[in-house]
Structure 1
Amino acid sequence: MASRSMPQIRRQHRSLKHQQRRQLNDGANLPSPVAPPAVSSTEP
């Protein structure tokens, strides 16, 4: 079970980094609307 959760969390982590970079490029117009939910999703 943990093995299955590992890849999912790793994938979300990559998405978060990618989104943060994209937002930075966008000019940080939004207050990270996808950052809070993403972190909550990784938590049990």
Structure 2
Amino acid sequence: KALARLGAVLTTKDLTELNRLVDKDRKDPEDVAYDWAAEHGIKK
């Protein structure tokens, strides 16, 4: 269920941006993922 919901809203563009934030901007992956999920209304 959770992966299906994620797949319905996570785009390639989003994934590219998330990777950039982690790789180039050196942001914490957990923080990046949490912020993205919060912005898109995805909760645990």
TM-score normalised over the length of structure 2: 0.36
Q: Higher relative contact order by CA 8 Å / sep ≥ 6: 1 or 2?
A: 1
TM-score normalised over the length of structure 1: 0.36
Q: Which has the larger radius of gyration?
A: 1
Instruction: Give 1 or 2: higher helix fraction.
Output: 1
